[in-house]
């Protein structure tokens, strides 16, 4: 029996998660068309399900997504017309090819109960990590199998999900780790040159990708302009917003360890002088992350349970102690474990081998 999934808080799937899934047998099925289609589906489905994509990376045989699931507003409801518009945008051709006719039949027969049941079911799929990840994997599998003339499962089991503390250190570290995937894989030296990651999209000016990295860096309008909780949203001019977003990207480049690198053209000529090694080391220190650590594969970032501060993990452990079996439930004093002394403030909760079935 598969172990139950764990979430940041009980009774809700709200929180930040690193989601990762691999193609069955590690097959390299993602070429350029497949990566483009996967990203398109991801963007349309996240809008329907109401989750926020902070960053992502699609590799040749797996994908990573860092996302935030907002808390479902109390009394949340949407009229049928709004749910339909969201759903049409997310499923695209599937709606035009069949579902629209099915809905027309319901309406012609006056079968309002069936339509209302469908609306409630769709509302129940919003603000849920499980529903978003399941929809994305299933829809891409259907698309790929039709295109490749194949049948059967495409993915290697369930997706993995790691809880990430919604705090600057854990959030930025996980985000940079994801965007540096193509660098670790030896594909590019600058993730901005790899089109299928959140950072490259942001550098290309794609609004949703920029917004995601703004949230990762904390360089939001609320933070910059001192917006107090409950106060009216800050008003920015377009120039102020663009400047703030540029600052967020500059900060993120520091996290990736590529701020201040010299730019060299294809003939080997220096187009722009870079910063000195000493200055770059200082910037890296300000970011709080040692880039060379992120260029290694860190198993706990994909196979662990939680990434965050000691207090965040220990608090989660105490609230969920009953989920553990064996001696851990009674005798284990803390949940947090060090990843390594190089990681400073970051801890993790490792795989729950003793979690009750």
- Helices and strands, number each (H, E), in the chain: 17, 9
Place of tokens 């990207």: 249
Count of other CB atoms within 10 angstroms of residue 151: 7
**Cβ 292 vs Cβ 183: under 8 Å:** no
Same domain, 85 and 176: no
Cα 186–chain centre separation? 22
Q: Express as a percent the part of the chain with pLDDT over 90.
A: 48
Q: How many domains does the chain have?
A: 3
Note whether residue 355 is domain-resident. no
Using the 3D structure, point to which of 124, 157, 184 is the last residue of a domain.
124
pLDDT at 354 > cutoff 80 = no
pLDDT for 289: 58
For the record, the structure tokens of 23 come out as: 């193609």
Over the stretch 196-222, which tens digit does the pLDDT of each residue have? 999 999 999 999 999 999 999 988 887
pLDDT at 227 > cutoff 80 = no
Q: Express as a percent the part of the chain with pLDDT over 70.
A: 82
For the record, the structure tokens of 356 come out as: 């009750």
Same domain, 107 and 137: no
Mean pLDDT value of segment 172-176 = 93
Note whether residue 354 is domain-resident. no
Note whether residue 50 is domain-resident. yes
0.85 surpassed by pTM: yes
Cα separation, 220 vs 241, in Å, equals 9
pLDDT for 311: 94
Note whether residue 5 is domain-resident. no
pLDDT at 184 > cutoff 80 = yes
Cα separation, 86 vs 80, in Å, equals 10
Same domain, 269 and 177: yes
Cα 299–chain centre separation? 17
- What does the buried/exposed string (b/e) look like for 182-213 if buried means 16 or more CB atoms within 10 Å of the residue's CB? bbeeeeeebbbebebbbbbbbbeeeeebbbbb
Strand, coil or helix: what is 46?
Answer: helix
Note whether residue 43 is domain-resident. yes
For the record, the structure tokens of 182 come out as: 């193509």
Please choose, from the candidates 258, 162, 175, the residue with its C-alpha nearest in 3D space to the C-alpha of residue 216.
Answer: 175
Over the stretch 300-342, which tens digit does the pLDDT of each residue have? 898 889 999 999 999 999 888 877 776 666 778 888 988 887 7
Same domain, 115 and 140: no
**Cβ 284 vs Cβ 172: under 8 Å:** no
Using the 3D structure, point to which of 66, 90, 124 is the last residue of a domain.
124
Mean pLDDT value of segment 250-259 = 79
Q: What is the dihedral of CA 281, 287, 293, 297, to 10 degrees?
A: -140
Count of other CB atoms within 10 angstroms of residue 278: 7
331: domain range? 304-349
Q: Which helix (H) or strand (E) holds 87?
A: helix 80-91
Note whether residue 9 is domain-resident. no
Mean pLDDT value of segment 336-353 = 80
Over the stretch 22-60, which tens digit does the pLDDT of each residue have? 999 999 999 999 999 999 999 999 999 999 999 999 999
Note whether residue 315 is domain-resident. yes
pLDDT at 241 > cutoff 70 = yes
Backbone φ, ψ for residue 155 (5° rounding): -105, 150
| Sign of CA pseudo-dihedral 136, 198, 175, 291 | positive
pLDDT for 287: 46
Note whether residue 241 is domain-resident. yes
Q: Across all residues in the chain, what is the average pLDDT?
A: 84
Same domain, 204 and 332: no
Place of tokens 């107090």: 228
**Cβ 45 vs Cβ 139: under 8 Å:** yes
pLDDT for 80: 87
Same domain, 165 and 292: yes
| Beta sheet of 160-164, edge-to-edge order | 52-58, 62-69, 15-22, 160-164, 306-308, 347-349, 337-338
Over the stretch 55-113, which tens digit does the pLDDT of each residue have? 999 999 999 999 999 999 999 999 988 988 888 888 876 665 666 677 777 777 777 78
């Amino acid at each position: 029996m598969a172990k139950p999934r764990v979430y940041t808080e009980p009774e809700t799937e709200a929180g930040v998660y690193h989601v990762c899934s691999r193609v069955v047998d590690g097959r390299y099925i993602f070429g350029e068309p497949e990566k483009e289609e996967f990203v398109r589906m991801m963007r349309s489905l996240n809008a329907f399900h109401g989750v926020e994509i902070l960053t992502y990376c699609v590799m040749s045989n797996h994908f990573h997504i860092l996302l935030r699931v907002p808390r479902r507003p109390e009394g949340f409801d949407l009229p049928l017309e709004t749910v339909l518009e969201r759903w049409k945008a997310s499923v695209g051709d599937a709606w035009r090819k069949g579902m629209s006719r099915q809905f027309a039949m319901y309406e012609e027969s006056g079968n309002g109960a069936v339509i209302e049941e469908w609306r409630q079911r769709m509302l129940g799929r919003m603000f849920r990590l499980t529903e978003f990840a399941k929809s994305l994997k299933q829809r891409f599998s259907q698309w790929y199998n039709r295109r490749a003339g194949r049948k059967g499962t495409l993915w290697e089991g369930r997706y993995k999900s790691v809880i990430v503390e919604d705090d600057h250190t854990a959030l930025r570290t996980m985000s940079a780790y994801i965007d540096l995937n193509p660098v670790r894989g030896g594909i590019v030296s600058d993730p901005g040159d790899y089109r299928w990651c959140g950072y490259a999209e942001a550098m290309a000016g794609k609004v949703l990708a920029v917004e995601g990295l703004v949230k990762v860096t904390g360089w939001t309008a609320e933070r910059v302009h001192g917006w107090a909780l409950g106060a009216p949203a800050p008003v920015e001019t377009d120039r102020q917003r663009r400047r703030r977003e540029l600052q967020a990207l500059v900060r993120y480049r520091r996290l990736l360890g590529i701020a201040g690198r010299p730019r060299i053209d294809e003939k080997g000529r220096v187009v722009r002088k870079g910063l000195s090694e000493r200055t770059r080391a200082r910037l890296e220190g300000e970011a709080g992350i040692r880039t060379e650590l992120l260029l290694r594969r860190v198993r706990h970032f994909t196979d662990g349970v939680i990434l965050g501060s000691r207090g965040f993990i220990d608090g989660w452990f105490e609230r969920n102690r009953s989920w553990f079996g064996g001696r851990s439930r009674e005798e284990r004093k803390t949940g947090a474990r060090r990843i390594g002394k190089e990681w400073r403030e970051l801890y993790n909760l490792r795989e729950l081998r003793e979690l009750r079935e």
